[in-house]
Amino acid sequence: MRVAIVGATGLVGTTMLRVLEERNFPVTELLPVASARSAGSKVLFSGKEWTVITPEEALLRAPQLALFSAGGGPSLELAPRFAQIGCRVVDNSSTWRMDETKKLVVPEVNGDVLMAEDFIIANPNCSTVQLVMVLKPLHDRYGIRRVVVSTYQSVSGTGAKAIEELQAQRRGSTETTVYPYPIDLNLIPQIDVFREDGNTKEEEKMIRETVKILGDEAVKVAATCVRVPVVGGHSESVNIEFEKPFELEEVRRMLSEFPGIAVQDNPSLKEYPMPLLAAGDDRVFVGRLRRDATVENGLQAWIVADNLRKGAATNAVQIAELLLQKGFLG
């Protein structure tokens, strides 16, 4: 199994390597791919050093699987070229997510949509992944009318330079090259560019991707996405309005039984999800479950996940595992 990691030297790419190794994915030959300026450098995988190569070199070596985390431009150009040689592509950029001909997949939620003809599969936005993991079992049981979500997104979602800038500002730097304002001791209510309707592109992603993954145009989503001075881990305050009445104990039970979800909901002991505790974990954590008495059938929840893992790298590897299970790789 020749596996290419396109963007192997970035934050998500290096996490993909770690997750592949942890989950014992059957990689017989690794093709770490990056830009020409990184070609020739080394990455460590399964106790061995592998040389970083260019996309052109990787194409010549015909991998069966390529995990992409190199940004929208490279994905738009390269993903079809890899697919044309029979390589399955799992892409972490936003390029293919809303393409009607491409599947947008969270394996626990809608893995059944993957078919033999799918050669480019989209990995959802990190904040969308953790949201739909919680919404899916509840929507199946109660029917969701409306979701209002406010995100608290860490700087690792922007990349290594954002982490460096936050740490530099904590040491006293006033330089702002990644964000329009200092992120240390601050919150920035803008992630990505603004659209004509006043939403940012990140908010638009969450709205549209949630509906596509759940497969139900009737679900209404409102989102506000905020960058916070946390190194890693995204958090979400979520308000859900259901079609049917619910019992909190049943909600807790259903969520605790759903694959990949951990319920941390014991306020008397101050037990609730936090980014600090989710770091390095592949699960989605949910807590602060309580009724919203201002609407009929309203539920409030707090959701946290490691955005580099389940929000990106782990979900991509899980898609690859699913392709393997279905007999689409080999």
Q: Residues 113-153: pLDDT tens digits?
A: 999 999 999 999 999 999 999 999 999 999 999 999 999 99
pLDDT number for residue 36: 86
Rounded distance between C-alpha atoms, residue 327 and residue 330, angstroms? 7
Listed as ranges, residues in the chain with pLDDT below 50 are none
**CA 114 to the chain's CA centroid:** 18
- E strands, the chain, are 2-6, 29-33, 42-45, 48-51, 65-68, 88-91, 103-104, 120-122, 144-153, 220-227, 234-242, 261-263, 284-292, 298-305
pTM, two decimals, is 0.97
Q: Of these residues, 87, 139, 225, 234, which one is catalytic? A: 234
Written as six digits, the tokens of 36 are 């020409």
Active site residue 139: no
pLDDT number for residue 184: 98
Q: Of these residues, 87, 126, 139, 225, which one is catalytic? A: 126
Q: In what order do the strands lie in the sheet with 2-6?
A: 29-33, 2-6, 65-68, 88-91, 120-122, 103-104
Active site residue 225: no
Q: Residues 247-298: pLDDT tens digits?
A: 999 999 999 999 999 999 999 999 999 999 999 999 999 999 999 999 999 9
Domains and CATH numbers, the chain: 2-124+312-325 (3.40.50.720), 127-307 (3.30.360.10)
pLDDT number for residue 227: 98
